[in-house]
Amino acid sequence: MREASDGSAQPMGAQRRLRRIGVVPHPARMINGPLRALDAWAEEHGADVVQIAVRGQEQEVAEPGQVADCDLVLAIGGDGTMLAAIRAALGAGRPVLGLACGSLGVLTAIEADGLGTALNRFSGGDWRPRRLPALVVSRDGADELLAFNDIALVRAGIGQVRVTTEVDGVLFSRLAGDGCIVSTPLGSSAYALAAGSALLTPETDAYLLTPLPTHGGSRHPLVISAGSELRLEATPGIGGARLEVDGQIAQTDPPVLTVGLRRDVATLVAFPEQEHLFASLRRRQIIVDSPRILADDGRD
């Protein structure tokens, strides 16, 4: 066991030889430096590098390969690239390592100059699995959807969308306005936080309902137990409504949705000294101290 940056004891990952690494690159950003470092490490250690196909990917950086044949999926980009890599790795159950191009985000674990060291540590078992929960969205006559950040049920044009929300069969609210967001603990630091909602610590065994601006009435965020079921029923206005899953449009004028939280859906590669969520949000000035505190600091 090793103590993590959040103070909790975390099991370390298993040693595994890296025979094949599947890479998911940022769709547009220049990533030549990290790719050269990856190719050099792979050549030195006798590993293959292949590219895993994901939706919307237009940048080709390696020969195509299947995620099931890989020992590790490496995302090179930001948190959006990480979400794409996580989805790609799901079916094969492969761990995902995030390399940041730019500043570290919430999901990426290492900066570009740390790639070789991170791959060595992963191979040697000096890492810890970071298990991610996901929202599971059920719809009549359609496949389940998974969201690692959030789902948003929002108006698609002019007019309001009316949303009725129930928790375990009990009516919570009826809203008329822009819609609502349902977030995982991780996703509470994304769209929900931008909308002025609560922030859940990553270890919270719950999920979050955040109403968007409404035409009057109560608009309270709600923390929902992981074992509870949320039901959303939307009545679109003139412009219609849409369902977004992790920022991507999944359906227009969605039917009744049933939402729950499923534990341990995906595995990220993390390291014991990795930056805590709070530190990441403060570094990027998403969380900022009160002006009076900052003024006092300036005088000091």
Query: What is the pTM assigned to this prediction?
Result: 0.90
Known catalytic membership, residue 39: no
pLDDT in tens, 123-154: 999 999 999 999 999 998 889 999 999 999 99
Residue 14: per-residue pLDDT: 66
Each residue of 146-185: pLDDT tens digit?
Answer: 999 999 999 999 999 999 999 999 999 999 999 999 999 9
By DSSP bridging, strand 64-65 and strand 48-52 are parallel
Is 222 in the same domain as 248? yes
Identify the three-state secondary structure at position 296: helix
Are 246 and 208 within one domain? Answer: yes
The CATH number of the domain where 104 resides is what?
3.40.50.10330
The structural domain count of the chain equals: 2
- Looking at the fold, whether 108 and 10 belong to one and the same domain comes out as yes
139 with 168, same domain? yes
Same domain for 6 and 103, yes or no, is yes
Structural domain range at position 257: 134-264
State mean pLDDT over 187-191: 95
pLDDT > 50? residue 1: no
Q: What CA–CA distance (Å, rounded) separates 218 from 224?
A: 17
The reply to whether 96 and 176 lie within a common domain is no
Which one is catalytic: 79, 150, 178, 246?
79
| CA-wise closest residue to 183 among 106, 92, 99, 293 | 106
Contact 285, 259 (CB under 8 A): no
> Percent helix, strand, coil in the chain (nearest 5)?
20, 40, 40
| Sequence-separated (6 or more) residues with CB below 8 Å from residue 186 | 106, 107, 132, 133, 148, 149, 202
102: confidence class by pLDDT, cuts 50, 70, 90: confident
Indicate whether 118 and 193 sit together in one domain: no
- Higher-pLDDT residue of 56 and 120 is 120
CATH code at 216? Answer: 2.60.200.30
Does residue 84 belong to any structural domain of this protein? yes
Residue 299 forms part of a structural domain: no
From the CB of residue 219, how many other CB atoms can be counted at a distance below 10 Å? 15
Mean pLDDT of 233-249: 94
Is 211 within the bounds of a domain?
A: yes
Residue 300 lies in a domain: no
In DSSP terms, which residues pair with 65 in a beta bridge?
52
Tell me, yes or no, whether 254 and 284 share the same domain: no
pLDDT mean across residues, the chain: 91
- Residue whose token pair is 């020969």: 63
State whether 213 and 93 are in the same domain.
no
Could you give the C-alpha distances from 26 to 4, 23, 31, 61, in angstroms and in order? Answer: 28, 10, 8, 10
Q: Are residues 153 and 123 in the same domain?
A: no
Q: Are residues 155 and 210 in the same domain?
A: yes
197-222 tens-digit pLDDT: 999 999 999 999 999 999 888 889 99
Same domain membership, residue 258 and residue 172: yes
